[in-house]
């Protein structure tokens, strides 16, 4: 759920050993993904199938909804086959639109200066991850980079965080999870992650939408001490 009022984060960094960070909408501007799937792909799909943009949008929306919240939603190979398009190539063609949210490098440097373990945990497909890390040059900030594909579940799905903790060994009681997706935060909460932060402006083209359940930030500077 979202709200106009904001629950302010109250973090004691001495109680945190591990920082788990989402990529799209959290560290990176989700406008790229929204544009790609809602505008660019419909245009290409309409041209390829000799149909109107309106019809293409309707067909694609139905296909998207079938797999939303599952690993197929972010699987470039799945969509390439389903749509008969080279999704990886199409993403590369518009990668100039990929951008990092304000204060992200500064926040990552801040976490490193505090000696925290920093993990990027994303539902994005490995091919998407490669495109975005090549463009943003953020890879070296992280101790670990994990795609949900490696775990076999999407982050929203129960069991994901348990499997992640078994493979990468973090103490859920001393872990911070930051994500723009409430369903992901709720999944983390059910697992027992104690410190949860919602990013309330995932895209530069969307209004701020604070969570009604979790503390929210607009920019990462809000989590950095003086």
Which residues form the domain of 201? 2-29+100-223
Q: What is the pLDDT of residue 55?
A: 97
The CA–CA distances, whole Å, from 115 to 14, 112, 119, 176 equal 10, 5, 13, 14
**Pair (23, 109) in one structural domain:** yes
By the 10 Å C-beta count (0-12 exposed, 13-18 middle, 19+ buried), 41 is classed as buried
Please give the structure tokens belonging to residue 3. 């709200």
Tens-digit pLDDT string for the chain (226 aa)? 545 689 999 999 999 999 999 999 999 999 999 999 999 999 999 999 999 999 999 999 999 999 988 889 999 999 999 999 999 999 999 999 999 999 999 999 999 999 999 999 999 999 999 999 999 999 999 999 999 999 999 999 999 999 999 999 999 999 999 999 999 999 999 999 999 999 999 999 999 999 999 999 999 999 997 5
Of 40, 71, 96, which residue sits at a domain end?
96
pLDDT for the residue 70: 86
pLDDT of residue 2: 47
Residues 65 and 165 in one domain: no
Task: Indicate if 116 and 181 belong to the same structural domain.
Answer: yes
Structural domains of the chain, count: 2
Judge if 153 and 43 occupy the same domain: no
Q: Within this chain, do residues 112 and 188 fall inside the same structural domain, yes or no? A: yes
Taking CA atoms, 83 is separated from 51, 71, 79, 94, 179, in Å, by 14, 17, 6, 18, 29
Let me know whether 154 and 60 are in one domain: no
User: What is the pLDDT, as a whole number, of residue 12?
Assistant: 95
Same structural domain, 53 and 161: no
Point out the domain boundary residue: 96, 118, 133. Answer: 96
Q: Are 177 and 160 in contact (CB under 8 A)?
A: no
Q: How far apart are CA 30 and CA 173, in angstroms?
A: 29
Which H helix or E strand runs over 76?
Answer: helix 76-83
pLDDT confidence of residue 199 = 98
Q: Are residues 144 and 219 in the same domain?
A: yes
Same domain for 155 and 188: yes
């Amino acid at each position: 759920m979202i709200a106009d009022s904001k629950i302010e984060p109250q973090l004691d960094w001495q109680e945190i050993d591990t920082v788990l960070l989402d990529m799209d909408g959290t560290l990176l501007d989700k406008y790229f993904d929204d544009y790609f799937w809602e505008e660019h792909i419909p245009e290409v799909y309409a041209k390829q199938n000799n149909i109107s943009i309106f019809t293409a949008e309707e067909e694609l929306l139905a296909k998207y909804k079938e797999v939303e919240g599952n690993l197929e939603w972010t699987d470039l190979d799945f969509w390439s086959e389903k749509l008969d398009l080279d999704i990886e190539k199409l993403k590369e063609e518009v990668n100039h639109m990929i951008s990092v949210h304000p204060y992200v490098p500064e926040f990552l440097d801040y976490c490193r200066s505090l000696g925290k373990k920093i993990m990027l945990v994303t539902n994005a497909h490995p091919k998407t991850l490669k495109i975005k890390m090549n463009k943003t040059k953020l890879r070296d900030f992280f101790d670990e980079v994990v795609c949900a594909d490696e775990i076999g579940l999407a982050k929203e799905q129960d069991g994901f965080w348990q499997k992640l903790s078994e493979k990468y060994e973090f103490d859920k009681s001393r872990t911070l999870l930051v994500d723009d997706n409430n369903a992901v935060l709720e999944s983390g909460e059910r697992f027992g992650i104690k410190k949860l932060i919602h990013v309330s402006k995932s895209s530069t083209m969307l209004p701020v939408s604070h969570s009604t359940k979790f503390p929210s930030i607009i920019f990462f500077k809000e989590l950095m001490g003086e």
